[in-house]
């Protein structure tokens, strides 16, 4: 049964499906979890997720989703591995500097879990391509580092009606939020109606290495919860972390009835 608060909580469930013996051991700690168990694991194995960005946030997201047994991961990044990435981007290694991040990620994730499907998505993600990809997946994890990409990913999620798990980190501050993708419910543009020029980047401002691990791991946890129908995802809520004090703030995100992306046309004059 689908949880009404969780728009994708029954994804991938088949009464006839079962978990093969080898995977029962691999996922045994999930199978022991109350409220998760075999049904939750089957939901994960039937799910498809697009990870946008394979850097500091994308590294833990992709690694935990692969390890958790998400059936298919689409891995998107246009960049190559640079030595400066290795302070925080744990998908990549020194011997893979110069390789594409997608290729480097495939190497790492195949070694981690060869039982899942990995789909490389190379090149820039223009609007048409994002729309096509959003139509193929159940959820998108946005691990990008600029407002233009986040805005485009958000629009694709709303158009496809799929959840978005959004994370960001810079200097010593991080944030995570989830959006249902439903019309009339808050989206990323409701949170940031004025996207600005995106001038603040980790390349210019720096970032504390473990911070991206914290935020990315939380993104992975929210994605697993949504896909498996577990707990209460952060839909319409924003968590903010100050890593210097380890203090969290939690804020509600109101839907903007005039939002150009998610406003429900049936509720407007």
**Does residue 36 contact residue 30 with C-beta atoms inside 8 Å?**
yes
| Burial class (CB within 10 angstroms; exposed 0-12, middle 13-18, buried 19+) of 172 | middle
Strand, helix or coil for residue 144: coil
* Domain locations along the chain: 28-267
CA distance 242 to 170: 10
**Cβ atoms within 10 Å of 159's Cβ, excluding its own:** 17
For the residues of 178-193, what is the DSSP string, one character each?
EE---TTS--HHHH-S
What's the CATH fold of domain 28-267? Rossmann fold (3.40.50)
Q: List average pLDDT for each run of 10 residues in the chain, which is 269 residues long.
A: 41 54 92 94 97 97 98 96 97 98 98 98 89 97 93 97 97 97 96 74 85 98 97 96 97 96 72
28: burial class by Cβ within 10 Å (0-12, 13-18, 19+)? exposed
- Please tell me the distance from the alpha carbon of residue 121 to that of residue 119, in angstroms, as a whole number: 6
Return the structure tokens found at 108: 């790492």
The pLDDT of residue 196 is: 65
Alpha carbons 237 and 57: distance in angstroms, whole number: 19
Cβ atoms of 252 and 33 within 8 Å: the answer is: no
Integer Cα distance of 186 and 254 in angstroms: 6
155 neighbors 261 (Cβ within 8 angstroms): yes
Q: Which residues of 38-49 are buried (b: 16+ CB within 10 A; e: fewer)?
A: eebbbbbbbbbb
Find out whether 178 and 222 touch, Cβ atoms under 8 Å: yes
């Amino acid at each position: 049964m689908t949880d009404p608060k969780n728009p994708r909580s029954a994804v991938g469930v088949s009464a006839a499906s079962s978990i093969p013996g080898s995977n029962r051991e691999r996922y045994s700690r999930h199978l022991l979890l109350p409220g998760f168990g075999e049904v939750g694991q089957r939901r994960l194995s039937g799910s498809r997720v697009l990870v946008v960005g394979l850097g500091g946030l994308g590294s833990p997201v992709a690694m935990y989703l692969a390890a958790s047994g998400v059936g298919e991961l689409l891995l998107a990044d246009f960049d190559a591995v640079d030595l400066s990435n290795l302070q925080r981007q744990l998908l990549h290694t020194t011997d893979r500097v110069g390789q594409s991040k997608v290729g480097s990620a495939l190497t790492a994730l195949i070694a981690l879990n060869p039982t899942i499907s990995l789909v490389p998505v190379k090149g820039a993600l223009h609007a048409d391509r994002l729309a096509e990809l959003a139509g193929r997946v159940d959820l998108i994890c946005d691990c990008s580092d600029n407002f233009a990409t986040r805005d485009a990913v958000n629009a694709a999620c709303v158009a496809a009606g799929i959840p978005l798990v959004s994370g960001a980190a810079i200097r010593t501050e991080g944030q995570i939020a989830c959006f249902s993708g439903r019309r009339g419910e808050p989206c990323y543009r409701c949170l940031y109606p004025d996207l600005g020029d995106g001038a603040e980047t980790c390349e210019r401002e720096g970032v504390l290495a473990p911070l991206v691990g914290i935020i990315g791991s939380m993104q992975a946890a929210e994605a697993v919860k949504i896909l498996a129908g577990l707990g209460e995802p952060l839909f319409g809520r924003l968590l903010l972390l100050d890593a210097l004090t380890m203090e969290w703030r939690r804020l509600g995100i109101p839907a903007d009835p005039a939002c150009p992306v998610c406003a429900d046309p049936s509720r407007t004059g």
